[in-house]
Structure 1
Amino acid sequence: MSLWEAAYRLAARGLSPAGGRARLSILIYHRVLPEADPLFPGETTAAGFDLEMGLLKRVFAVLPLGEAVARLKAGTLPARAACVTFDDGYADNATHALPILRKYGLPACFFIATAYLDGGRMFNDTVIEAVRRAKPERVDLGRFGLGEHDLSSPEAKARAIGAILSQVKYLPPDRREDTVAGLAAALTGAALPTDLMLTTAQLQALRQAGMDIGAHTHRHPILAKLDPAAVRAEIAEGVAALEGILDQRVGLFAYPNGKPGSDYLPQQAAIVRELGFDAAVSTQWGAACAASDPFQLPRFTPWSRDKARFQPQLLRNLVRSYF
């Protein structure tokens, strides 16, 4: 361990001591790619994830999320407690992330949107892969209410994807699927990939490897845009599918998109509580403490491509509180 890492461990212990004053850092990931994506060079690669997990283990005490939540409530967390989580259910979580987690002996929790298992494709990936394959340098998507976009370079395509997704993600699920299907047909005649998400066998392998599995709804809608009955139905369908595949109770939940106040509201958090979950996680940055709402636990996204900043970022995140 370097002197810097020893100093980071000492600082982390000061910010997150054991027991009732402990703070829990929960990291959030989505994909772990085999190599850098030209459209999104900042997306986590296997090499980057390997480096980050090594850095995490040398400074933090990494726990399974279910255990960490129970110990946070009980006031028995160890110093420097942290968890690793993944959202959505990408196949590369099994093919690339799992071997790295095993290498370092680290647990993780995988939140699964069940509609996309076994060959499905999330709406965002339909947009990404259609724009990636688009030939025109400029497109008019006005008939979908999505404006005109420059597609003349990888950087321009990335900007277009961001602008399009910011609009379609908030559509009702059926309309969202119809919109992205029409957009894909307008942009490219090429076949889009059907192997991006986990298979049932891969999901079972994650659980057999000792990983926690959590619910993430069925079709990944923005819950704040649904009525209470639809919220309950989306969550229940996802849980039922997971429990049928895994033959065990699922007690953890992640809000799709996860920003409190826009993607979910207190009334949706109340529904999650009423449905009998043990805890739920958001995408609000910060570290959880004993006073945090267990159904709105914050998570932190490691964002810098400069890995020398990874541990300092985690320390800064420990200072942030979210209740």
Structure 2
Amino acid sequence: MINQTEHSNTDTLHSATEEAPANFLRVLTYHRVANPDPESPLSPQLISATVADFAKQMEFVSRNYRAVTMEAVLEAAVSGKPLPRRAVIITFDDGYYDLLNHALPVLTHFRIPATVFVPTSYPDHPDRAFWWDRLYGAVMFAPQEQLQDSPVGPLSLKDREARWMAVRRLQNHVKTLPHHEAMALVDTLYQTLEGDKTPRKTVMSWDELRYFHKSGITLAAHTQTHPLLDQIPLEEVRREVTGSQADLQR
């Protein structure tokens, strides 16, 4: 059985892992490991742990649990053999660049294996950013103080709190739309708001991902373009998944 925890501070992590029976597989899922920066155009909603908290969490894991690889989990699922008692697997979604400097040294220090799920159309393309980061940067750094024509009605951008509220309302609306319509809306808002548009590296390069792999980290498929899977046809879902798997095998 699986018990999954995300966005934990150390106390919450301790509570969540202690609640699970010893024979559960505990899954600690992360996105970014970074310190909040009000000047960053990347959404802080994807920060799962600060640098200091992540180090504390991995120290806690190393002292109290048995970190296992994705390969070991899959082998156990196929063979039916039990995993070690108090097994835990560490995963990271999206392959954000900050993992290279903030997560890998900690994992290496504590000898903890992990898995990074890579959306494979992003490495080596610093001009590409995830839609939620594009939307956040556009809204939070727009020169306007009002977005009059939005799909959720007029939105105040008068201060940081109002901009945060606008980001959340727009994100919630985007997730209700068919994927291609949703991405067209993000493109329109990105152009209309004239917020932060500086190209910057979001996802690790293929060379950096290979370095991760050589350091004992498993790389796994996470689609190619990271679409809203519940908003695209099943055949497109298949192409995204199989294409991502093929990209990782090259």
TM-score in terms of structure 1 length: 0.64
2:26 corresponding residue in structure 1: 25
1:163 corresponding residue in structure 2: 169
How far apart in 1 are the matches of 2:156 and 2:85?
49
* Aligned partner of residue 27 in structure 2, secondary structure: strand
Q: Deviation per CA, 1:254-303, whole angstroms, max 9, x where unpaired?
A: xxxxxxxxxxxxxxxxxxxxxxxxxxxxxxxxxxxxxxxxxxxxxxxxxx
* Aligned partner of residue 111 in structure 1, secondary structure: strand
Distance 1:219 1:130, change over 3 A: same
* Structure 1 residue runs without a partner (length 5+): 245-323
CA drift of 1:189 comes to 5.3
How far apart in 2 are the matches of 1:89 and 1:107?
15
Q: Aligned pair 1:36/2:42, yes or no?
A: no
What is the 5 A alignment of 1:1-323? 12=18, 15-17=20-22, 22-33=23-34, 35-38=35-38, 40=44, 43=47, 44-73=49-78, 74-118=80-124, 119=126, 120-142=128-150, 145-188=151-194, 190-244=196-250
- Tell me if the contact between 2:66 and 2:84 (Cα under 8 Å) persists in the aligned partners: yes
* Structure 2 residue runs without a partner (length 5+): 1-10
* Aligned partner of residue 163 in structure 2, secondary structure: helix
How far apart in 1 are the matches of 2:163 and 2:184?
21
CA drift of 1:153 comes to 3.0
- Tell me if the contact between 2:140 and 2:195 (Cα under 8 Å) persists in the aligned partners: no
- Tell me if the contact between 2:31 and 2:94 (Cα under 8 Å) persists in the aligned partners: yes
Distance 1:71 1:190, change over 3 A: closer
State the Cα RMSD in Å: 2.5
Distance 1:123 1:15, change over 3 A: closer
> How many residues in Structure 1 have an aligned counterpart in Structure 2?
229
How far apart in 2 are the matches of 1:238 and 1:146?
34
CA drift of 1:101 comes to 1.0
Q: Deviation per CA, 1:197-226, whole angstroms, max 9, x where unpaired?
A: 111111111111111111111111222222
The answer to which of 171-180 and 207-216 deviates more is 171-180
TM-score in terms of structure 2 length: 0.81
Distance 1:84 1:231, change over 3 A: same
* Aligned partner of residue 115 in structure 1, secondary structure: coil
Letter in 1 for 2:95: G
- Runs (4+) off by over 4 Å: none
How far apart in 1 are the matches of 2:129 and 2:45?
21
Q: Identity percentage over the alignment? A: 29
Q: Deviation per CA, 1:134-181, whole angstroms, max 9, x where unpaired?
A: 122332242xx2433232333332222222112223444433333212
